[in-house]
């Protein structure tokens, strides 16, 4: 009975997330630079970590949204084969417009938390999405990301985390609020941003690094951190059991 109740709650949460991002899809990209004070370093670090020796790497983007993160990787790997998964069809519509006639791009409007790929990927990425999931779902996503990678493949998660203590977390929120209020966003845009924070379900950084390690990843690390904006990294060993 408890499991059924939790499943219903998670489905309702997922619906709320989908509706929230459907509503903000049109303006999401234009606002993102102002809503992420560390935008250039944040995404720059994430892209730098997403390394593959394949000429045409297969890249899976979890919670791809408008395809911003994936588009940055496409500049690095012009022949990459992309799979973009997101709950919001309106977000994916913008991604489709972004990539236009680009070949090798697959769009999946579905829940990625239990996605199992038919063919493994060289790189799995996620940008500002996993923090909307419950903690058990986060851990499950990390397990599936590991399973969906080729040996030697890498996982890069650019996301947001809780502060280590309530006091530190409050500092993070105060800093972010102060900076976005000075960013030039309109009052309506600010209110929409604050509304979106209501669907956040952030977890601590150390817990997530632990979940990545438990999933099997080696060389797990937080490579970049700016208040609660972090870039986490893990590598699937080239041979099973090699750490």
The confidence score (pLDDT) of residue 26 equals 54
CA atoms of 106 and 35, how far apart (whole Å): 28
The confidence score (pLDDT) of residue 30 equals 78
CA atoms of 128 and 6, how far apart (whole Å): 24
- Report yes or no on whether pTM surpasses 0.85: yes
The confidence score (pLDDT) of residue 243 equals 46
CA atoms of 160 and 117, how far apart (whole Å): 26
Contact 200, 117 (CB under 8 A): no
pLDDT tens over the chain, length 243 residues: 545 544 444 545 555 455 555 445 556 677 899 999 999 999 999 999 999 999 999 999 999 999 999 999 999 999 999 999 999 999 999 999 999 989 999 999 999 999 999 999 999 999 999 999 999 999 999 999 999 999 999 999 999 999 999 999 999 999 999 999 999 999 999 999 999 999 999 999 999 999 999 999 999 999 999 999 999 999 999 875 444
The CB density around residue 165, as the number of other CB atoms within 10 Å, is 10
> Does the domain at residues 2-235 carry the CATH identifier 3.40.50.980?
no
CA atoms of 167 and 87, how far apart (whole Å): 33
Give the phi and the psi of residue 230 in degrees, each rounded to 5: -135, 155
């Amino acid at each position: 009975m408890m499991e059924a109740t939790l499943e219903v709650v998670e489905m309702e949460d997922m619906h709320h997330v989908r509706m929230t991002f459907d509503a903000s899809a049109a303006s999401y990209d234009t606002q993102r630079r102002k809503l992420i004070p560390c935008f250039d370093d944040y995404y720059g670090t994430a892209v730098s970590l997403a390394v593959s020796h394949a000429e045409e790497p297969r890249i899976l983007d979890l919670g791809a949204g408008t395809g911003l993160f994936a588009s940055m990787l496409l500049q690095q790997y012009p022949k990459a084969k992309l799979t973009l998964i997101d709950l919001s069809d309106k977000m994916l519509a913008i991604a489709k417009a972004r990539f236009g006639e680009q070949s090798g791009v697959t769009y999946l409007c579905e829940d990625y938390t239990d996605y199992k790929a038919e063919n493994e990927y060289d790189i799995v990425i996620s940008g500002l999405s996993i923090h909307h999931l419950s903690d058990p779902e986060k851990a499950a996503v990390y397990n599936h990301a590991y399973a969906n990678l080729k040996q030697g493949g890498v996982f890069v998660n650019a996301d947001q985390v809780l502060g280590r203590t309530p006091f530190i977390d409050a500092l993070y929120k105060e800093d972010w609020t102060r900076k976005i209020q000075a960013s030039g966003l309109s009052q309506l845009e600010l209110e929409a941003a604050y509304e979106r924070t209501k669907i956040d379900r952030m977890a601590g950084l150390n817990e997530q690094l632990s979940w990545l390690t438990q999933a099997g990843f080696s060389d797990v690390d937080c490579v970049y951190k700016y208040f609660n904006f972090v870039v986490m990294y893990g590598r699937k060993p080239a041979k099973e059991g090699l750490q």
